[in-house]
Amino acid sequence: MHVVNLGMIGGGTVGSGVFNALQRNGDLLAKRIGVRINIVKIAVKAFDEPRPYPIPRSYLTTDWRSVVNDPQVQIVAELAGGTTVAREMVLSALRLGKPVVTANKALLSAHGPELFATAKANNTNLYYEASVAGGIPIIKALREGFVGNRITHIYGIVNGTCNYILTRMTRDGMEFDAALKQAQQLGYAEADPSLDVDGLDAMHKTGILASLAHGFWVEPSQIYVEGIRAVTQTDIRFADQLGYVIKLLGIVKRLDADGRAAPRVQVSVYPTLVPKHHLLAGVNDVFNAVFVRGDVVGDTLFYGRGAGKDATASAVLSDLADAALDLKLGTKQRVPAFAEHERYGKVVPIEEVSTRYYVRLEVVDQPGVLAQISSIFGRARISISSVIQPEDHKGTTVPVIMMMHAAQNAAMLHALRQIGKLRVVKSKPVMIRVENLE
Ligand code: NDP
Ligand code: HSE
């Protein structure tokens, strides 16, 4: 049996998951691919950290360079996280011509083009299946499964922590902070959980999906992002009455109609009202789902655990198998890490994108209030689709919920600024975008 030697950096949630999965299924993997993956060394920060799965001390070192530089090590797995030292780890392995497997979407988002170029220059490869949507093989699907398609739409629930929090808030009425704490205890959240709840982790992943689908590198600064901190129980309840659930969606939508010109693409992440009858509305807890529409295949949906030690380990194992096979067969760039196939594509700024909206206003309950509000929307040529004002509300102000037809974001934001200044409007207008996913 052909053997390849693996050096790992990181023995935490993902790293210990990979160690455990290789102990459990290493024989099976070896039989399937004809190569045995043999772990040589694992770098960690401190020997005595508690780990989700135990790793014998004999594997451990605290010197990541000794892993990368070990002449025995043929593949390096970077499962440490972060964007500074991790960049050094990955670059130094690639410069030695060693294939690298990473789960680090923040690193790819920040330094993707440099890392891909370094892999190519050193005739090796960079694999990152675990970087998006945990155990779902979405990178392989986009790069290989859909290689013959023009991708027109991707809607992704790609952050397990946010989906877990929104599910607990919706189903159990749990407060945001308590739900986040649970997600952290379950090993779903990033070391800095603001990456999750402020939408940045979903932004990293959505940027990777957009880049693969459209063939030009989407920089994080081009992606419009809103996280879930502002989502309240009040809006969850009104959305429910209107037939929607609130999900944090990564959206990659091709806006040019004919599909032949260089792509003009919406790339954004924001809390979204999703119709309850759509499959994405039923994706709960830590589960992720990615809806992909291609011009040949039509609609597809991928579903699975988006975070956690075992699901993520499954994706890392798939990359390790590809890297090991490439080494065995000498096919080092069979599927390049990133192929630039549409160099002139563009991300359309959110202001120019048209969406539908849910709007909640807190207003004084007196005659003429709705007329003032609707005349501002009317002047902005934004059409109201329906209005609800609950009759049984007690207090000095009442909520007014409006569902709006599609309008450009710039026009909507301008109208809401004007509405927010009306004397009868008593708090900052709440606006959540709506997707019918058609
Ligand atoms: P953890 O914090 O659980 O593990 C990080 C590991 O890296 C630890 O073992 C830590 O050592 C080690 N480490 C950190 N810095 C160094 C260093 N300088 N030298 C040597 N070892 C180091 O993180 P996760 O396992 O959760 O995440 C790892 C990566 O996987 C991140 O990029 C994350 O975004 C990504 N990811 C995580 C998922 C998840 O569900 N958790 C899912 C998909 C991707 P020590 O144990 O001593 O602290
Ligand atoms: N923190 C990430 C999430 C881990 O919750 O989705 C998986 O990438």
Three-state secondary-structure class, residue 283:
coil
At position 2, the amino acid (one-letter code) is H
Same domain, 415 and 429: yes
Same domain, 115 and 229: no
Nearest residue (CA) to ligand 1, atom 31: 81
- Of the candidates 121, 24, 125, 113, the one whose C-alpha atom is nearest the C-alpha of residue 74 is 125
Nearest residue (CA) to ligand 1, atom 36: 103
Same domain, 151 and 127: no
341 domain-assigned: no
pLDDT value at residue 328: 95
Residue 312 CA, closest ligand 2 atom number: 7
Question: Which H or E run contains 30?
Answer: helix 13-33
Instruction: Output the domain CATH number for residue 12.
Output: 3.40.50.720
> Which of 290, 305, 320 finishes a domain?
305
Cβ(108) to ligand 1 under 6 A? no
Same domain, 254 and 267: yes
pLDDT digits (tens, 9 = 90+) for 185-219: 999 999 999 999 999 999 999 999 999 999 999 99
Question: Strand pairing of 244-254 and 151-157?
Answer: antiparallel
Same domain, 221 and 75: no
- Of the candidates 375, 362, 376, the one whose C-alpha atom is nearest the C-alpha of residue 428 is 362
Q: How far apart are CA 55 and CA 132, in angstroms?
A: 26
Cβ(7) to ligand 1 under 6 A? no
Same domain, 223 and 313: no
339 domain-assigned: no
pLDDT value at residue 345: 92
Domain interval for residue 91: 2-134+309-329
Catalytic-residue membership of 205:
yes
DSSP state for residue 316 in the 8-state scheme: H
Three-state secondary-structure class, residue 119:
helix
pLDDT value at residue 394: 75
Instruction: Output the domain CATH number for residue 426.
Output: 3.30.70.260
Cβ(80) to ligand 1 under 6 A? yes
175 domain-assigned: yes
> Which of 329, 361, 378 finishes a domain?
329
Buried b (16+ CB within 10 A) or exposed e, 381-400: ebebeeeeeeeeeeeeebbb
Residue 284 CA to ligand 2 center (angstroms) comes to 14
Q: How many domains are contained in the chain?
A: 3
Cβ(9) to ligand 1 under 6 A? yes
At position 360, the amino acid (one-letter code) is R
Same domain, 107 and 154: no
Q: How far apart are CA 233 and CA 119, in angstroms?
A: 47
pLDDT value at residue 262: 86
139 domain-assigned: no
Residue 158 CA to ligand 2 center (angstroms) comes to 8
CB 22 within 8 A of CB 79: no
pLDDT value at residue 395: 78
Residue 127 CA to ligand 1 center (angstroms) comes to 17
pLDDT digits (tens, 9 = 90+) for 20-70: 999 999 999 999 999 999 999 999 999 999 999 999 999 999 999 999 999
Pocket test for ligand 1, best of 9, 14, 126, 316 (most atoms within 8 A of CB): 14
Q: How far apart are CA 124 and CA 72, in angstroms?
A: 17
CB 119 within 8 A of CB 125: yes
pTM of the model: 0.97
Cβ(1) to ligand 1 under 6 A? no
CA distance to 8, 70, 99, 117, 331, per residue, from 123 (Å): 21, 19, 9, 10, 10
Catalytic residue among 41, 98, 105, 205: 205
335 domain-assigned: no
Strands of the sheet with 35-43, listed across from one edge = 60-61, 35-43, 2-9, 75-78, 100-102, 126-127
Query: For residue 315, what are its two tokens?
Result: 């994706």
40 domain-assigned: yes
State which residues of the chain have pLDDT below 70. Answer: 259
Same domain, 9 and 91: yes
CB 13 within 8 A of CB 80: no
Q: How far apart are CA 43 and CA 414, in angstroms?
A: 52
Same domain, 180 and 234: yes
> Which of 240, 272, 305 finishes a domain?
305
CB 90 within 8 A of CB 106: no
Same domain, 381 and 412: yes
Pocket test for ligand 1, best of 45, 49, 90, 319 (most atoms within 8 A of CB): 45
- Counting ligands in written order, which one lies closest to the CA of residue 79? 1
Pocket test for ligand 1, best of 49, 67, 79 (most atoms within 8 A of CB): 79
Instruction: Output the domain CATH number for residue 267.
Output: 3.30.360.10
Same domain, 48 and 167: no
336 domain-assigned: no
Looking up tokens 């004002």 gives 389
28 domain-assigned: yes
Cβ(64) to ligand 1 under 6 A? yes
Question: How is the chain split among helix, strand and coil, in percent rounded to 5?
Answer: 40, 25, 35
Same domain, 252 and 369: no
CB 117 within 8 A of CB 134: no
- Of the candidates 93, 83, 245, 34, the one whose C-alpha atom is nearest the C-alpha of residue 157 is 245
Cβ(103) to ligand 1 under 6 A? yes
